[in-house]
Structure 1
Amino acid sequence: MREVDQRSIRILVDLQACQTNGSARRGVGRYSRALFAGLAGGAAPRDIYGLVSTELPHSASIRDLGAAKVIRPPALPNLLLDRDFEGGVRDAIDDVLWSSTVASVSPDIVHVSNVFEGFYERVPLPSPRVRAPGQVFSATLYDLIPLRFPEHYFRDERFERWYRFRLEWLRQADLLLSISEASRQDAIALLGLDPHRVVTIHGGIEPHFRQVADVGAAHRRLRESYALVRESFILYTGGDDHRKNLTGAILGFAGLPAELRAKTQLVLVCDLEDRRRSHYLEIARAAGLAAGDILFAGYVTEDDLVDFYCCCATFVFPSLYEGLGLPVLEAMACGAPAIGANNSSIAEVIGRPDALFDGNAPEDMARVLGLVLTDKDFAGRLADQGLVRAKKFRWESTTKTALDAFDTALRRKREAGVAAAVAHWSPRRRIAMVAPLPPAKSGIADYTADLLPYLQEYFDIDLYVARNNAPNEALSAQYRVFYADDLYNNIRNYYTVLYHFGNSEFHTHMYSMLRDLPGVVVLHDAFLSGMVGYVDFNLGRSGFFATEMLTAHGSLARNYLLQTPREKGIGDSIAGLPCSRRVLDNATGIILHSPYALRLLEEHHPERWRPQTWIIPSLARCPVAISVGERNSIRDRLGIAADAFVIATFGHITWTKFGDRLLEAFVSLCAKGDQRAHLIFAGELESDDFGYRLKQQIHASGLADRIRLTGYLSDVDYKDYLIAADLAVQLRKITRGETSAAVLNCLEYGIPLIVNACGTMNDYPDEVVVRLSPDPSVAELIAAISELAASDSRRSQLAASGRDYIASFHHVRRCASEYAAAITSFVEQTKTAKVENFAPLLAPYLAATGDPPGAAAYCASYFDARPEYNFSRPRIFLDVSHIAQGDLNTGIQRNVREIVRALYTRTVPGLDAIAVVRTGNDLVEASEWLSGLGLLLPGELASLNGRVVEFRPGDNLLMLDSSWNEYSQFRPVFARAREKRVPITTVVHDILPLTLPPGNFVPGGKEWFANWFHLALEESDAIACISKTTADRVIRYMGEHGRGRPGLRVGYWHNGSEINVPANSVHAPRLEEIVCEPYLLMVGTLEPRKNHLLAVNALDCLWGEGFGPNLVIAGKRGWMANEVLTRIFEHPLLNKRLFFIEQCSDADIAFLYMNATALLALSKDEGFGLPLVEASRYGIPILCSDIPIFHEVAGAHASYVAIDDPARVASAIRDWWAQYEKSVVISSAGMPCLSWRESAESLLKLLLGDNWYWQNTIDGSKSVDDLSENQKVNQR
């Protein structure tokens, strides 16, 4: 186990540098955003949060984290105090208040993107004075240029005071991430920092800075847009700042020979005020330059900047000092020969002396410029080397270096905490320990007894036990022992409570105690589902198990517990889900025993949990070495020959430990002639089918005299077998995050050990164990055992490594010191996060305000408004108000039902879907409707009924089923959602009422729909369409009608298609006769646009010829259906060749699809076309109208028909039928078909993964045909 794996890591990044006027749109802001994006994208298993201001002028533009992980403090109180620019009263109050928000997240690392923000704006810093124990303060260091050039930067005394005050923050930081080695050396030299506290991470280049495919075209673009009048040009980019040395660039260019200047122009990309441009033009004229020699390009777009880099003869950078010199890197990445001043990070980036010059000597710059312009080979070498060097500056490597630096800094803090504990620097305190104790038959009881005497070196300890668990006499004599419920009266006597939790009945009483009396939890088992189940099924708390499972795991638990029979769902959920969430939430700190246990919890709870988590390995002791004589004596006592080669496996013998496979490998080894080998199963054999079969296999092997089943062993006998063994094999099939005591015992006793890659077995280093595959074959076992049996030296190496590993990481004394450090860190961190901790810190500053009561009231208001970050699963609210009022069983409502069903039984952790209906101005959970769908568990309806939902950051509101005439009544709901920054997405199934001609919808339908649609465009942050065709129509409509607010996003996903027929459902008997003859099937509500009338008329043409298949129409009556219904019911061939199935169950629809000759879909238009996908699932051909949406859905897997008149449709059906009889029609097989689960996941990817197709990035929409690629975001 590596030290870096010894804890989970939560990182909070202060992103105010991305928001200030001074930095948001400059290099510091861009660098900060890029570094944060790298941390957020590559930090697993670290937990990354962003901290942004709600008051600064610019948005941080964070799109790499969900809103749930962005912390937005309330506005700082306006105390009307003057600033003294030296950390005075106002700044001090701001810093303390800001720190209270930082503390509320309990971060391990607080990283400030730029300390030097806020001279002109209000930018607080987290105060080092309220830093929690063990917490790392870090910052990005760009440069210390004002200290290098004080004569230029400290002319304003206020700025100097402010700057030097902020320097003190840097000096108190635990870690500085320097963007160049030059800046790192400055920090060490100018601030006197320890070198290990400053780490160089460099920076990366945005991917669009690269060589263009056609340099000639790029050059033409520049000539059309800028006054480029010479054959070639030299490029400079920079700001109007003393150190950027714009004057030096002009004078260096002026020093070139006249014949070179005649062919070359100097292009200055720099945003200058008119007076400054005139100033530099005067310098140029004084140096002898003509009007056309210099081009002041001003501000240029990123695209133009890339073209300038790619087309320049050389890029020159005469800056007198840089933190990194990003323009040089960008130029090199674009293939420009780059030269620069020989100072700071510029030399570091360019990397070759012959491309450098003295920035203070224009003649030296002219020398190198002339060399590049006249020596093409030299320029080519510079360009080639620049491309290679630029590739080394990648955000991936910057991010990795930063994360490694965080890990190292945190490790140093932890080691310091452990050292402080060992040195007893902290005062001795009394703690309460709640745990099972011997003689309880519990491994955790034994563990606790082993830990107690060593932990007592650091704390006074009182023991609290269940009433049925009186400890043995030895413990009772050494410690004060109380019953667990006495702790409620005694809690004030203790620094904290230490709970030992495991997955058994010995811990049931702790569950409610931890809720009432929070404390530090040692979580011996990641899974507590067995213990929770015991409370329900053995202690009589009916419903407790289901409630806790739903709280812990949401849809995953529901998916298990809705299974039938109920007992199977319960058993599967106990085996598959930890159910530890409540313990994680109520603890003040978590101690685990392995990285695997942490990974297991993080896998089930990607939303994480509030308390810090440390990993402290399980306890072990290195026993006294045993002599050969003593070992032989023990073997003799056990009846084992001194020369026998003993292969042993230790612990309870069950089907989960591959004992049968080990036996088979042993028998094969013996068959090869190894007469010395013996196999010992050292433990109790399970009394089940596996145990019976293993005994039978041993008997049948003919090796019963060399195979031993010991049965239950006393401690003495168990240790004797450890001493007697030559080789141990410890395998597992299933793990719940527990640490195998038998594996530790083998390593303690120096037994060479074979394990498989399962659970915590993966945490041991390769030099300590021989690790097989997770599911090792018999051959793999034979090879590993044979190799070790044949090599004394390899076994000796493993034995020594195992003992050393135990001594280094698992020794009980070391572990006890880590317990002491962890407990202290947890308690002090919890104290630091409490609001009452900050009042004493504010007191002296409030007294200095002149109005202490008023200032205190302002600060109290801030604390009241401070966001408490909720470490719970993000939620997506699904509005089902319309369908809950009445399910008309339309295609849209099938979509609603199935999406909700899929999300409510989702098998991916980390999200809660909650169906809601509007009641007045509130949303309440749609419990009655959900119950009707069979999605609630027994007893859940009563607990949910009428429960009003409250939004919080990180939620999403999806208008999945919004009514055309009630949308405006959601406005109060939308307003509350926006207050909590909850995005609102409206689902648009189609906009056909706006695009189809009159006669397809009821009178007034277009107006109703338009009103709803316009409201949706006005109120929504995003529109989710069920097809790309619909999305394109939405975008085009917005452009043509000037609808859609700036920032509105549009995306699409596809419907699922399987028909979920209940297992006990059967189709209607009357369908049996219908399916006996070939038929075309039409599925869908009867309404004009579905073209049922066209289909009947077309088939009539064929039937009149005595030809053609039957027609089966399955669907309910829709609007304006009288004409087609009259035609159907008066048709002479009704129920002979024409069949109308009006009341169709899912079983009926499935049966009709299953037996159909083909699907006939002649719609004038659709939002999606679900019947096509359903038909493909049943493998039947598709004959459909030639419309865009059907091409999107079916592609090359359907036959298309023009729908202009019945005769033409009849002709197409006749031609298709002729092909069908030859078995050469187009097959629907291979058509993309999503399940409803896949459809729901695709919708979530759209909503939560920022996977949008288009965004309105400008003021006012454009037609979809006019959108640039920057506005159309590729569907990933």
Structure 2
Amino acid sequence: MRIVLDLQGCQSVSRLRGIGRYSFALAKAIIRNAGEHEIWIVLNDLFPETIDLIRAAFEEVIPVERIATFSLPSFSLYQGARDWRTRAAEIIREYAIAELEPDLVHISSLFEGYVDVSVSSVKAYDKVTLTAVTLYDLIPFLNPEKYLTDLGFKKHYFGKIEALKRVDVVLTISAYCGEEAVRELGIPTERITNISSAVAESFACSTISEEDILSLWARFGISRPFVMTTGTVEPRKNLEGLIVAYSKLPSELRKKYQLLLVCQATEANRIKLFDLAVKHGLASDDLVLAGYVSDKDLIGLYTACHLFVFPSLHEGFGLPALEAMACGSAVIASGATSIPEVIGRDDALFNPLDLQQMADMIERALSDGDYRQSLKDHAAVQVRKFSWDATGKRALQAFEKEYEARFVESARLKRTAEARYQSLIETLTALELPVTEADFATGADAIAANQRAGRRKQILVDVSVLCENGARSGIQRVTRAIVRQLLSAPPANWEVRPVRLDRSVMLYCYANHFLHTLGMGDRSIDGDDEWVDSQQGDIFLGLDLVADCVPHAEGWFAAQRRRGVNIYFVVYDLLPVRYPNWFPEVIATDFPPWLTTIGTIADGLICISRTVADDLMTWLDTSSVERARELKISYFRLGADIESSQPSTGMPDNANIILAAMRERPTFLIVGTVEPCRGHAQAFGAFEQLWARGVDVNLVIVGKAGWGVGELPDRLREHPEDGQRFFWLQGISDEFLEKVYEASKCLLAPSHGKGFGLPLIEAAQKGLPILARDLSVFREVAGQSAYYFSGDADGDLAAAVEVWLSLQKKGSVPASTRLEWITWKQSAEQISKVMLQDAWYRRWQSK
């Protein structure tokens, strides 16, 4: 079966209460015990702040592509069934889930939605798919004068009651709850399964030191051994009854034990409870009220208390009693509703309305050591009867039973994608409610976002800079080469679509015009750059560097993550954050927020070398990046077959003269834009020293003048050796660069920092030896296939060149032909393997 778990109960305000904890634990248990069943989780995108947290909580137990979101039209609260958007949201939710083609849908919390944006319904649109619901209790239904005083909420609640009657499988958290559903609502017994409940693993017996006990006492205002209960301040919890019963204890027992109520009381309720205690003769320190208590402290209080009393009048299950028993507490409790199922011992139960009987049992538990010890011994046995795995298995068995009974009928009634869509439109059209064009528009957007059937998954490759100006910088050469490879050989069952950022609105659109200029990809795609239409499971690959704008587009990326799009960025290096003085102010200013943004919004970062990946991990440890989920880090190698990157062509008129001059003497070649980080100034100074000493060598620089090199460009252009033993070639084609490589004797790589070092690879392809600065990334790329130098003085490099020339004469320079390199096709395959096969190098988690 394909089982879809609607976990809005873990998204709404209920996530902070018992329903949220139950929903979470049951889902985990179902997944653990699913066997061959395929489990999906669906979440409501109107709760954006919860989606990452839930994905983080489940991604270790379920493939992340099976944690989907559904998009809904925004709607106003408190509107109820007479509001078009509210009704449309119910129908669109069912349609979105039907697009997953489930066999059964389980709703963790049916009764929410009036005061928040939770949306649930049963067979409002999809009459075929089996629906299951967890029923926690019917307390509001049985006590409307207390819980249903708001007429709007009352109508909402009773609408959910009617929906509950249409449910195929009702999972109750106690046998008593199921009996109530049969008795009060007339739901057939065969539709109901008691799956019970359990406690979290953290609630367990442990040893607590005297020091820890005293610390707990100090934090909560406790001054002596105590009797304890937990519960909200409302009539059914019977906290007032417990206070009165406690007042009936002999005075010597009250002097020995305090009464602690963990109840998060409002100020008005605190006054009411203390006034009641005084009225019945309790001393000022006999009663202690605790507000919010963390799970850690609650476990400590359960463990340290002398007795736990649970006086409730009505419970769906009675989890606090079981939690206390799990922590080794002696527990006595009310004999009402479902609570006896939890306690499992008649002589530990009292009539919650008979306050004297309650007092007598408390007195016995405090005075009779053997009885109290027997309660503790019983708790250790009783608590083992409850486990989340058993609860999850019962739920699955109920699903399987109903599915087997209805399989033939369900299969016969299944709709095609086209039929589902047509039925959706008909159902929405049939809503006889006031509606506006804006309502239709927001509904249409949600429907489009939820359509899945028949769509191929997309890899959205960012080419924003490349498609705007065709830049030939190193990054754009990589972008062009990788996108061409992905387009020519897309991963199986994936569609590759170049995309670009529209800077006017900070939203991404398909770069269709650019795609057609490449002459690749699907020729049927329209030439207009329409807005990106993404779906659950798509991939965004930030291949181009758009550092100035990505932080401003964070809202778009956040929306994609909520939708279930996996977001990855390529990181070329970290030099602008490590050495900002090497870069123009705009880059030094834009790069750090870009890096912080992608560290926050991305699922993974893919670096162009292991060295960059390690640098990135180090930077993250000192950064301000905060995230709920791990950040995956990996790397790939750049390709080096220049013919696959759509190389430029063309030769200058003086090409033959330059190439002939290069062949007259040993030529050292530097490839890269003239910038501070590339080491050109040191290199030129070194060669000036060599020429002054009569060393007959050439220096060739291939690369345009960049930023921050001061007077160096003038110095290069005006040098006496220009056109003799020095050549500065700016803006040359890839075709001419190939010839320059072939005419050179040595590639010189003097960069102070690099992300990869592609010229080393290109040189090795020509058999050109390499003289490189001793950088870890160059060691990673070239290994033993290069000769390395260190030192920042001109003389350091001049000396290294002379040593290299000496070794070259002896035939002893390291042979670059041993350097391993890959093609751009292989490079693209490496990126695909990282993204599609989870081939990650390291993972980082914010502290």
TM-score, reference length from structure 1: 0.49
1:961 aligns to what SS in structure 2?
A: coil
Establish whether residue 184 from structure 1 lines up as the match of residue 178 from structure 2: yes
Q: 1:754-833 maps to which residues of 2 (within 5 A)? A: 822=412, 826=415, 830=419
Which position in structure 2 is the counterpart of 1:1061?
Answer: 641
Distance 1:1020 1:1094, change over 3 A: closer
2:16 aligns to what SS in structure 1?
A: coil
Assess if the C-alpha contact under 8 Å between 1:1078 and 1:1156 holds in 2.
Answer: yes
How far is the alpha carbon of 1:140 from its aligned partner? 1.0
Q: Match of 1:69, as an amino acid?
A: A
Which position in structure 2 is the counterpart of 1:1022?
Answer: 601
Which position in structure 2 is the counterpart of 1:559?
Answer: none
Which position in structure 2 is the counterpart of 1:1087?
Answer: 675
Which position in structure 2 is the counterpart of 1:114?
Answer: 109
Q: Please list the CA deviations of residues 351-405 of structure 1 after superposition, one character each: whole Å capped at 9, or x if unmatched.
A: 5667666655433552575379889976874675578566x224xx544543443
Which position in structure 2 is the counterpart of 1:174?
Answer: 168
Aligned partners of 1:948, 1:317: CA distance in 2, in Å? 62
Q: Match of 1:867, as an amino acid?
A: I
1:283 aligns to what SS in structure 2?
A: helix
Q: Match of 2:121, as an amino acid?
A: P
Which position in structure 2 is the counterpart of 1:916?
Answer: 499
Aligned partners of 2:146, 2:640: CA distance in 1, in Å? 75
Assess if the C-alpha contact under 8 Å between 2:132 and 2:171 holds in 1.
Answer: yes
Give the alignment's Cα RMSD to 1 decimal.
6.6
Aligned partners of 2:204, 2:772: CA distance in 1, in Å? 49
1:322 aligns to what SS in structure 2?
A: coil
Aligned partners of 1:986, 1:175: CA distance in 2, in Å? 44
Which position in structure 2 is the counterpart of 1:951?
Answer: 533
Task: Give the % identical residues.
Answer: 25
Which position in structure 2 is the counterpart of 1:31?
Answer: 22
Aligned partners of 1:209, 1:981: CA distance in 2, in Å? 33
Aligned partner of 1:1006 among 575, 585, 597: 585
Assess if the C-alpha contact under 8 Å between 1:1022 and 1:1050 holds in 2.
Answer: no
Which position in structure 2 is the counterpart of 1:139?
Answer: 133
Which position in structure 1 is the counterpart of 2:406?
Answer: 413
Q: Match of 1:31, as an amino acid?
A: Y
Aligned partners of 1:909, 1:967: CA distance in 2, in Å? 29
Which position in structure 1 is the counterpart of 2:483?
Answer: 900
Assess if the C-alpha contact under 8 Å between 1:14 and 1:110 holds in 2.
Answer: yes
Assess if the C-alpha contact under 8 Å between 2:259 and 2:288 holds in 1.
Answer: yes
Q: Match of 2:271, as an amino acid?
A: S
How far is the alpha carbon of 1:409 from its aligned partner? 1.7
Distance 1:99 1:36, change over 3 A: farther
Aligned partner of 1:48 among 30, 37, 40: 40
Which position in structure 1 is the counterpart of 2:388?
Answer: 393
How far is the alpha carbon of 1:237 from its aligned partner? 2.9
Q: Please list the CA deviations of residues 482-515 of structure 1 after superposition, one character each: whole Å capped at 9, or x if unmatched.
A: xxxxxxxxxxxxxxxxxxxxxxxxxxxxxxxxxx
Distance 1:273 1:60, change over 3 A: farther
Q: 1:815-964 maps to which residues of 2 (within 5 A)? A: 822=412, 826=415, 830=419, 834-835=423-424, 837-838=426-427, 842=431, 846=432, 854=434, 867-868=447-448, 869-871=451-453, 872-885=455-468, 890-897=473-480, 899-900=482-483, 903-904=486-487, 911-917=494-500, 925-926=510-511, 936=520, 940-941=522-523, 943=525, 945-954=527-536, 959-963=542-546
Assess if the C-alpha contact under 8 Å between 1:1056 and 1:1237 holds in 2.
Answer: no
Q: Match of 1:320, as an amino acid?
A: L
Q: Please list the CA deviations of residues 530-550 of structure 1 after superposition, one character each: whole Å capped at 9, or x if unmatched.
A: xxxxxxxxxxxxxxxxxxxxx
Distance 1:978 1:179, change over 3 A: closer
1:838 aligns to what SS in structure 2?
A: helix
Establish whether residue 296 from structure 1 lines up as the match of residue 289 from structure 2: yes
Assess if the C-alpha contact under 8 Å between 1:20 and 1:57 holds in 2.
Answer: no
Aligned partner of 1:366 among 362, 372, 376: 362
How far is the alpha carbon of 1:277 from its aligned partner? 1.1
Aligned partners of 1:216, 1:1211: CA distance in 2, in Å? 72
Q: Match of 2:192, as an amino acid?
A: V
Q: Match of 1:116, as an amino acid?
A: F
**Farther-moved stretch of structure 1 (137-146 vs 916-925):** 916-925
Distance 1:325 1:1084, change over 3 A: farther
Q: 1:241-280 maps to which residues of 2 (within 5 A)? A: 241-250=234-243, 265-280=258-273
**Farther-moved stretch of structure 1 (1083-1092 vs 969-978):** 969-978
Aligned partners of 1:181, 1:1182: CA distance in 2, in Å? 79
Establish whether residue 74 from structure 1 lines up as the match of residue 73 from structure 2: yes
Establish whether residue 1237 from structure 1 lines up as the match of residue 829 from structure 2: yes
Q: Please list the CA deviations of residues 419-470 of structure 1 after superposition, one character each: whole Å capped at 9, or x if unmatched.
A: xxxxxxxxxxxxxxxxxxxxxxxxxxxxxxxxxxxxxxxxxxxxxxxxxxxx
Which position in structure 2 is the counterpart of 1:426?
Answer: none
Q: Match of 1:1088, as an amino acid?
A: P
Establish whether residue 196 from structure 1 lines up as the match of residue 196 from structure 2: no
Assess if the C-alpha contact under 8 Å between 2:26 and 2:388 holds in 1.
Answer: no
Distance 1:982 1:840, change over 3 A: closer
Q: Match of 1:141, as an amino acid?
A: L
Q: 1:57-96 maps to which residues of 2 (within 5 A)? A: 62-63=54-55, 69-75=68-74, 90=82
Distance 1:927 1:1111, change over 3 A: farther
Assess if the C-alpha contact under 8 Å between 1:232 and 1:264 holds in 2.
Answer: yes
Aligned partners of 2:139, 2:44: CA distance in 1, in Å? 26
Distance 1:42 1:103, change over 3 A: farther
Which position in structure 1 is the counterpart of 2:823?
Answer: none
2:314 aligns to what SS in structure 1?
A: coil
Assess if the C-alpha contact under 8 Å between 1:357 and 1:364 holds in 2.
Answer: no
Assess if the C-alpha contact under 8 Å between 2:9 and 2:20 holds in 1.
Answer: yes
Aligned partner of 1:99 among 74, 91, 98: 91
Which consecutive residues of structure 1, in runs of 5 or more, have no partner in the other structure? Answer: 1-7, 84-88, 418-611, 615-821, 847-851, 1255-1271
1:1053 aligns to what SS in structure 2?
A: strand
How far is the alpha carbon of 1:1183 from its aligned partner? 8.2
Assess if the C-alpha contact under 8 Å between 1:135 and 1:413 holds in 2.
Answer: no
Q: Match of 1:1119, as an amino acid?
A: G
Q: Match of 2:109, as an amino acid?
A: N
Aligned partners of 1:1160, 1:257: CA distance in 2, in Å? 90
Aligned partners of 2:726, 2:47: CA distance in 1, in Å? 72
How far is the alpha carbon of 1:195 from its aligned partner? 3.2
Assess if the C-alpha contact under 8 Å between 1:319 and 1:340 holds in 2.
Answer: no
Assess if the C-alpha contact under 8 Å between 1:96 and 1:841 holds in 2.
Answer: no
Aligned partners of 1:253, 1:1104: CA distance in 2, in Å? 102
Higher RCO (CA-CA < 8 Å; seq separation 6+): 2
Distance 1:900 1:413, change over 3 A: same
Q: Please list the CA deviations of residues 1223-1244 of structure 1 after superposition, one character each: whole Å capped at 9, or x if unmatched.
A: 9xxx999xxxx96534445457
Which position in structure 2 is the counterpart of 1:707?
Answer: none
Q: Please list the CA deviations of residues 669-694 of structure 1 after superposition, one character each: whole Å capped at 9, or x if unmatched.
A: xxxxxxxxxxxxxxxxxxxxxxxxxx
Aligned partners of 2:221, 2:639: CA distance in 1, in Å? 66
How far is the alpha carbon of 1:1119 from its aligned partner? 1.8
Aligned residue pairs, count: 791
Aligned partners of 1:75, 1:293: CA distance in 2, in Å? 51
How far is the alpha carbon of 1:949 from its aligned partner? 3.9
Aligned partners of 1:917, 1:184: CA distance in 2, in Å? 56
Q: Match of 1:28, as an amino acid?
A: I
Assess if the C-alpha contact under 8 Å between 2:500 and 2:511 holds in 1.
Answer: yes
Assess if the C-alpha contact under 8 Å between 1:104 and 1:833 holds in 2.
Answer: no
Aligned partners of 2:48, 2:86: CA distance in 1, in Å? 14
Which position in structure 2 is the counterpart of 1:619?
Answer: none
Q: Match of 1:362, as an amino acid?
A: M
How far is the alpha carbon of 1:141 from its aligned partner? 0.8
Aligned partners of 1:1129, 1:218: CA distance in 2, in Å? 79
Which consecutive residues of structure 2, in runs of 5 or more, have no partner in the other structure? Answer: 59-63, 608-612, 648-654, 821-825
Q: Please list the CA deviations of residues 76-98 of structure 1 after superposition, one character each: whole Å capped at 9, or x if unmatched.
A: 589x98x7xxxxx7389955772
